[in-house]
Amino acid sequence: MRRILTATALGALVAMPAMAQDTTTINAVMPKQRSANYFPLIVGEALGYFEEEGIEVNLLPSDTPIPFVNFLRNGQADIAMLDSAEVLQAIAAGVDLNVIYEVMQTAPDGIAISGDSSITDVEELAGETVGLVSDRDRVTMQIALDARGMTEDDVTTVVVGEAGPTLAAAFRDQTVAAIAGSGPDWLAIQANGIPVKLITPEEVSNKPGNTFAVMASTLEEKGDAIEGYLRAWSKGMYVAEVDPEVVAQIARTAVPEEWEDPEFGQQYLNNAIRLNVSVTETLGGLNTETWSAIQPGMQKFGLIDEQVEPDRFLQPGPVEAANDFDRAEVEEEVAAWREANM
Partner 1 sequence: MSDEGDLGAVAAKGRTRGIVARHAGILVALVAAWEISCRMGWLDPLFFPYPSAILLGFWRLYITQGNIWPHLGLTMLEVLVGFLAGSALGIALAVCVGMSDRLRRYLKPYVVVLEATPRIAIGPVIIAAFGFGWTSKTAIVMLVCFFAPFVNTLNGIVGVEPEKQSMFRSMGASKVQTFTKLLWPSALPEISAGLRLAMASALGGALVAEFIASNAGLGVLITQYTGTLNMASAFVCVLTLSALGYFIFRGMEELDRIVVFWSDGDRTDAMSRRRKAAWRAKMGTTS
Residues that bind partner 1 (CB under 8 A): 27, 29, 33-35, 59-66, 70-71, 74, 76, 162-165, 168-169, 172, 184, 188-189, 191-192, 256-258, 260-261, 264, 268
The nearest distance, CB 306 to partner 1, in angstroms, is 28
The nearest distance, CB 212 to partner 1, in angstroms, is 18
SS3 55: strand
Nearer to partner 1, 192 or 249 (CB): 192
The nearest distance, CB 239 to partner 1, in angstroms, is 22
What is the SS3 assignment for 201-261? CHHHHCCCCEEEEEEHHHHHHCHHHHHHHHHHHHHHHHHHHHCHHHHHHHHHHHCHHHHCC
Nearer to partner 1, 82 or 314 (CB): 82
Nearer to partner 1, 22 or 257 (CB): 257
Nearer to partner 1, 21 or 76 (CB): 76
H/E run at residue 112? strand 109-114
The nearest distance, CB 84 to partner 1, in angstroms, is 23
Tell me, what amino acid is at 82?
L
- Cβ atoms of 179 and 158 within 8 Å: the answer is no
H/E run at residue 26? strand 24-30
Nearer to partner 1, 57 or 199 (CB): 57
The nearest distance, CB 171 to partner 1, in angstroms, is 10
The nearest distance, CB 60 to partner 1, in angstroms, is 4
- Cβ atoms of 125 and 153 within 8 Å: the answer is no
* DSSP secondary structure of 113-170: EETT----SGGGGTTSEEEESSGGGHHHHHHHHHTTT--GGGSEEEE--S-HHHHHHH
How far, in Å, CA of 232 to CA of 53, rounded?
A: 7
The nearest distance, CB 109 to partner 1, in angstroms, is 17
How far, in Å, CA of 320 to CA of 303, rounded?
A: 31
Strand order, beta sheet including 156-159: 156-159, 129-132, 178-182, 109-114, 196-198
Nearer to partner 1, 65 or 94 (CB): 65
The nearest distance, CB 172 to partner 1, in angstroms, is 7
Nearest 5°: the CA angle 28, 333, 103 is 30
Tell me, what amino acid is at 339?
E
How far, in Å, CA of 232 to CA of 222, rounded?
A: 15
Nearer to partner 1, 115 or 165 (CB): 165
Nearer to partner 1, 96 or 162 (CB): 162
